[in-house]
Amino acid sequence: MATPHARIQGNPAARLTIFEYSDFQCPACAHIQPTVQRILELYKGKIRLVFKYYPLTMMHKNALGAAHAAQCAAEQNQFWPYGDELFAKQTQWATLADPTTSFMAIAQDAKLDTVRYATCVADPSKEAIILADVQEGKARQVSATPTFFVGDQRLLGGFFEADGARTIERELRK
């Protein structure tokens, strides 16, 4: 499935694409974000990162809502700043019975059109985009988050942190 431009970072014409299957409520996903940013900076112009939703709803009750909120930010071309804030403020909203107010505060901080954002969040059809990413992830045998695909190589969370740069170098030499 094609990923909307709003969820792609880096050089759109890069030879190497990295896919990140992630869950905004996953602590390991939040932990690895600084590494992802360093990799993007280190390989600027040589790679592109494609973010795929993979909310682990059995473990994280607010993960689907967070993905839905991020998708609504993506529709205003603010996916990356919104997603960064979801990860940064994860401990503040993750255990709430209803994180809607926290998600709206992040939307306001990201300078989203909050009326448009609220309408989007209220639209259950937006979840189809998220579920399409989940189905794609299942087809690629994703079973944990974060999972990265660097070319044909699959790297789970900590392995991306430890071996991401080496794997990227190897893939760029192909």
pLDDT digits (tens, 9 = 90+) for 23-35: 999 999 999 999 9
Rounded CA-CA distance 42/67 in Å is 27
The amino acid at residue 19 is: F
Confidence band for 12, pLDDT divided at 50, 70 and 90: confident
H helix and E strand count, the chain:
8, 5
Q: pLDDT for 66-114, tens place per residue? A: 999 999 999 999 999 999 999 999 999 999 999 999 999 999 999 999 9
Is it the case that residue 157 has pLDDT exceeding 90?
no
What pLDDT, on a 0 to 100 scale, did the predictor assign at position 3?
67
Those residues with Cβ within 8 angstroms of residue 69's Cβ, 6 or more apart along the chain or in another chain: 82, 86, 103, 106, 107, 121
**Dihedral angle, C-alpha 124, 125, 130, 131, nearest 10 °:** 100
3-state helix, strand, coil in the chain (%, to 5): 55, 15, 30
Q: What's the number of CA atoms in the CB half-sphere (13 Å) around residue 65? A: 18
Q: How far is CA 164 from the centre of its chain?
A: 17
What's the chain's average pLDDT? 94
Give this prediction's pTM.
Answer: 0.94
The CA-atom distances, in angstroms, between 80 and each of 1, 9, 30, 49 are: 20, 8, 13, 11
pLDDT above 90 covers a percentage of the chain that reads 90
